[in-house]
Amino acid sequence: MRTTADTALVEQAALVTLLLDRLGLLRADPDADQGDTHELALAVLDGFDRLLSQSRRCSEDRAPAPARTQRDLYDELRRTVHDRVINATPEGARVSVISRGDDVLVAIAGRSASHFPQNDRGEWAGFYPATGADAVALVEAARRRGERFLVVPRTAAWWLEHYGELADHLHAVASVVLSDDHVRIWELDAPAPPTAPRRDRPSPVDALLEAIIPSDVTLARVSADEVDGSSVDDLAAAVPTDGRRVVALLGGRRAWEHHHQTLLDELLHHRVLADRADVLVVELISVEPADPEGAE
């Protein structure tokens, strides 16, 4: 597109051409006044001077701007990141920036910004995570520290492509509050408070045994398929103690009477503490041999 300077240059060139034509005619006319010829020659020289000056101005207008260095571009990115963070986050917000250790990049006015990843002293850790799982662990550490936003400048956008697990995790625990060609800013959810270890509800049998068996009693749980022709004495030997012995016959009478009826009959002569469909609980009573001297 022709500029104003270009138009002026064309007009000046046309004027010089016209003057040259007139000068040529005067010189060819033997009757021409020499004074007029001299004045016209001076006008042609002046026209050439003006044409040269106008040509220089056009060249200057067309000259490209000085090339911007990588440093200039990075400085501009810093300023843009700062502006975006200030506009997208509340004042005083805790912000983690994937910074590559650039202290200027994390010096964001009115924000508590820090390096990501960082060491125990809050300085840049000096390394990149080895795996996506490691990157996720770093995000979780930042969440536990109370960091509310994660800032990913354009220079660190490769993180979200290289660490696939990180991108998936951020979509699960964060939301994008700003994204453009310069930076992406994620708002991190607060980590869930630690929950107490889950305690499974005890089975009905366990609940019964806890309720009726004192802590100082030795208890043995026995299922019918674990016993092969045992006697009460064998069961007692399997519960070594100098105190009270209690056996819990799992499955109740029905599970025992088909294969161990004799043993079951013997046990029923001892102290039955509970007799349910799912368990038969018996305390083994030691029977002392009779004293021969006291016998009649």
State the pLDDT at residue 238. Answer: 65
Q: What percent of the chain has pLDDT over 90?
A: 36
Least confident of 57-61, 98-102, 271-275: 57-61
Backbone region of residue 220 per phi and psi (left: phi > 0; alpha: psi in -120 to 50; beta: other values): beta
DSSP state letter for 217: S
Per-residue pLDDT of 199-218, as tens digits, reads 667 788 888 888 888 888 88
Contacts 24+ apart (CB under 8 A), 133-138: 133/165, 135/159, 135/163, 135/165, 135/166, 136/163, 136/165, 136/166, 136/169
Domain boundaries, the chain: 4-62, 71-188, 204-284
Whether 257 contacts 264, CB under 8 Å = yes
pLDDT band, residue 87 (cuts 50/70/90): very high
Per-residue pLDDT of 33-74, as tens digits, reads 777 777 777 776 777 777 677 777 776 666 566 677 888 899
pLDDT band, residue 147 (cuts 50/70/90): very high
State the pLDDT at residue 26. Answer: 66
Q: Facing residues of 52 across strands?
A: none
Whether 81 contacts 183, CB under 8 Å = yes
User: Could you tell me the maximum CA-CA distance found in the chain, to the nearest angstrom?
Assistant: 185
Rg (CA), the chain: 49
Contacts 24+ apart (CB under 8 A), 171-179: 173/139, 173/143, 174/150, 177/88, 177/89, 177/149, 178/84, 178/87, 178/88
State the pLDDT at residue 200. Answer: 67
Q: With both helix axes pointing from N to C terminus, report the angle between 34-62 and 4-28 in degrees, rounded to the nearest 10.
A: 160
What is the chain's mean pLDDT, rounded?
82
State the pLDDT at residue 24. Answer: 72
Least confident of 103-107, 183-187, 193-197: 193-197
Of 114, 158, 161, 155, which is closest to residue 138 (Cα–Cα)?
114
